[in-house]
Structure 1
Amino acid sequence: MAVAEGSIDVTANPADGWLTGRLSALMFMQFFVWGAWNVTLGLAMQTVGVGHLIANAFSVGPIASIVGSFLLGMAAARYVAPRMLMVILHLVGGAILFVLPGLVTPESGTTFVWLLLGYMILYMPTVGLANTIALKSFGERTDNFPFVRAFGTLGWITAGLIIGWAGLSASPEIFRVAAVVSVALGLYSFTLPNVASDTPRDEGVVRQVLCVEAFSLMKQRSFLIFVTCATLISIPLAMYYAYASAYVGAAGIENVGGTLAIGQMSELLFMFSMPWLYRRFGVKPLLLVGMAAWALRYALFAIGDGGDSLWAIYVGVALHGVCYDFFFVAGAIYTGTIATPKGVNAQAQGMLTLFTYGLGMLLGSQIGGLLYAQLPATPSIADWHQMWWYPAIAAAAIAILFQLTFRDDQKALGKMEAAR
């Protein structure tokens, strides 16, 4: 396979330990930046008197996923090498992060939300770009990707521990911690493997801007079903992030942060097991188990309380590793497999981010808000039980739809070629 001029042929030895270490550092910093401020932003805003803007602040992520994926993650990736985009976006983003703490005030709250939106438009495409660099670097050894991606989760956890240890959980200074690492990642990105950008095709400007080639991947029935289910399953994902902490607190658990950290630890554990599981079972079983785990989690939340059923809450939180890794990590690998023959890997990863972190999470935020609005001002554990049944039933329906309609065309093609 030809390699673009000026690019490094990193597929010759994809299992090289040095390459794995470099990509692991990339993922660690990529998610450290996000985790440093996202987890406790609501507490910080409430502390400084702009709690009424929390909903707006947490709505910018999904909106930025949609806008950023179009403008940068897909369109720009056709003309600029992924690592150079990482350099530009993280350096500019780091500069914005340094400015944000001074705007988290009652007088500048609205300006803060708008600038945060601008930052997230720069940040969200880098999630897909980081995946693209790692997957292209590993070549055919995509089963190495989950191990590298696990360091992203480790970065998120480490950021939270540092913020807590430094006593910054309720302070806008969380953005400055993220800013330092963002600038470091921007500079570090100069050293990343120089994988080739998606090759521009001989087509009109409108088709290029709208990334018609990436969206044309959905002409494949299996990929269309996957993207549809990925979008739908992101709806309950948003509800978990938004309301799990309030629910856990209503159950009488005092250490809410520590309890929810169980889910992140679980995510890290299953991330490291993904290479073996992917080789052993293939993509469809992993995706199906991931979706079924969402249904089981919310069913457990719908029966858990502060008494004899307290165990259900802990098990539901611990299922986060299965819910996230089995679907979203396996899904990123599957997307790369589908996109590589067409040469639109970066666009496809950006498109997946658009549909999941963008459209799906935005729908989840809005639907979750409607359901939450039906609860009393101070919901009891019984009120929460009623709310959780909705995402539980929805996730089960999505899993059944996926099981009945999805067929792994790539696996079937591989069997046909092996039989020749």
Structure 2
Amino acid sequence: MNTTIRIRLSLMMFLEFFIWGGWFVTLGTYLANNLSATGSQIATVFTTQSWGAIIAPFVIGLVADRYFNAERILGVLHLIGAILMYQMYHTDNFDVFYPYVLAYMIAYMPTLALVNSVSFNQMKDPAKDFSSIRVFGTIGWIAAGLAISYLFEWDSVTGISQGFLQNTFLVTAIASAVLGLYSFTLPATPPKIAPGVKASVTEILNFDALKLLGDRNFLMFFIASILICIPLAFYYQNANQFFSEIGMANPTGKMTIGQASEVGFMLLLPVFFKRFGFKATLLAGMLAWALRYVLFAYGNAGELSFMLITGIALHGICYDFFFVSGQIYTNSKAGDHQKSAAQGLITLATYGVGMLIGFAVAGLITDTYTHANGHGWQSIWLFPAGFALVVMVLFALFFKNEKIEYKA
């Protein structure tokens, strides 16, 4: 790949995930402290990610794939996002905040697919080139967390008490505007389907992949993917608030250890996959979810802080060994003409349906164990730990092991 194009795509990925990590990690803490939101209200806000993920295929299938260049839609959506994020920055009322964050997520979630489309369109060998560009997205997420904790100290006790977390929305609005304008300079990525070409609604929305559910093994994996997102939602929704409430210093910065481990375990994944197989890899990922929540339940910000850090570092196993392995498995099960549709189906199942249920459950459990002095975090974390274990056992019993070829 041309070096200039590689740098430009890498910057696009950096900004794309800097934007997401720049406000989403601290969202639960902000809502609880700045807007006095309950657990159920916080869950309602987090479910906007799921609604965005559910609506995204319609945006991509009906608009991006048929009428407009992907880089132009990317630019427009991020400019809209910048305006919405700026409105969130000025909002101090939950009822006013919610419509803005819902509209923002509907605009943002399709961009995750669009940056991939822009990247793939410039690659002769995506299997070789994509990971080295996508990693800059993880670096962008890490940079956002480090800036919040160590550069600005917005998530410190003083920063939270003085409402400085609100500034994350302003920084994100600026970054969104920058990426929005920058997107119009990216290499052209024309529609995949000519406007005059007729296609069924099923083809446009990538629903052909539903046929894969007729395969018993894939159906078990599909169900497990939805269910494991319930414990995943607890991490996204509660982790930063939990670390802040128990007095962990620089919680947002320390949570970037999870993204760093994600990069490391990504390198180990082919070795584990080849040696132990797909089923064992997914089971290891599920077990890691349960273990991390047990560590959160019994750790503290003092002498047992190593338990919290270990739990954060397990994110690499939790995410890579289940979700990345799942993408590989899905790719192997789909036919050549169904690969994109199949990946879209799994994204819909996880970030859409699974997380939608997960955030609702997390909000309900959090409210159940909320008291005058804070939260009963041990009880809160033991619920997703137990749930992950149940999902792991069911998957072990009902999924028949099969050999999957790993292609890096």
Greater Cα offset, 89-98 or 268-277:
268-277
Q: Secondary structure at the match of 1:114?
A: helix
Q: Which runs of 5+ in 1 are unaligned?
A: 1-12, 415-420
Q: Distance in 1 between matches of 2:379 and 2:95?
A: 34
Tell me the equivalent position of 1:214.
Answer: 209
Q: Does 1:225 align with 2:189?
A: no
Q: Does 1:247 align with 2:242?
A: yes
Q: Does 1:371 align with 2:370?
A: no
The one-letter amino acid paired with 1:34 is: W
Deviation at 1:387, TM superposition (A): 2.8
Q: Does 1:92 align with 2:77?
A: yes
Greater Cα offset, 318-327 or 349-358:
349-358
Contact 1:50 1:106 in 2 (8 A): no
- Tell me the alpha carbon deviations over residues 59-96 of structure 1, each in whole angstroms, 9 at most, x when there is no partner: 31122211223x22444454257xx3343134333233
Aligned-residue sequence identity (percent) comes to: 35
Q: Does 1:72 align with 2:59?
A: yes
Tell me the equivalent position of 1:257.
Answer: 252
- Tell me the alpha carbon deviations over residues 116-143 of structure 1, each in whole angstroms, 9 at most, x when there is no partner: 2122112112223444555676677637
Q: Distance in 1 between matches of 2:396 and 2:126?
A: 27
Contact 1:77 1:198 in 2 (8 A): no
Tell me the equivalent position of 1:5.
Answer: none
- Tell me the alpha carbon deviations over residues 269-314 of structure 1, each in whole angstroms, 9 at most, x when there is no partner: 3235446655666644433322221122122223334566443222
**Alignment CA distance shift 1:318-1:222 (3 Å):** same
Q: Distance in 1 between matches of 2:241 and 2:380?
A: 13
Contact 1:100 1:175 in 2 (8 A): yes
The one-letter amino acid paired with 1:384 is: W
Paired positions, count: 394
Q: Distance in 1 between matches of 2:312 and 2:217?
A: 30
TM-score by length of 2: 0.79
**Alignment CA distance shift 1:194-1:202 (3 Å):** closer
Q: Distance in 2 between matches of 1:229 and 1:343?
A: 21
- Tell me the alpha carbon deviations over residues 198-227 of structure 1, each in whole angstroms, 9 at most, x when there is no partner: 799998744346543132233333433322
Q: Does 1:33 align with 2:19?
A: yes
Q: Distance in 2 between matches of 1:264 and 1:229?
A: 23
Task: Return the match for 1:125 from 92, 102, 110.
Answer: 110
**Alignment CA distance shift 1:24-1:275 (3 Å):** farther
Task: Return the match for 1:358 from 347, 352, 366.
Answer: 352
Task: Return the match for 1:296 from 272, 280, 291.
Answer: 291
RMSD: 3.9
Q: Does 1:384 align with 2:372?
A: no
Contact 2:86 2:170 in 1 (8 A): yes
Alignment of 1:169-184 (within 5 A): 170=164, 172-184=166-178
The one-letter amino acid paired with 1:292 is: L
Q: Distance in 2 between matches of 1:338 and 1:86?
A: 30
TM-score by length of 1: 0.77
Q: Secondary structure at the match of 2:386?
A: helix
Contact 2:208 2:338 in 1 (8 A): no
The one-letter amino acid paired with 2:80 is: A
**Alignment CA distance shift 1:115-1:221 (3 Å):** same
Q: Secondary structure at the match of 2:371?
A: coil
Tell me the equivalent position of 1:10.
Answer: none
Tell me the equivalent position of 1:393.
Answer: 386
The one-letter amino acid paired with 2:98 is: V
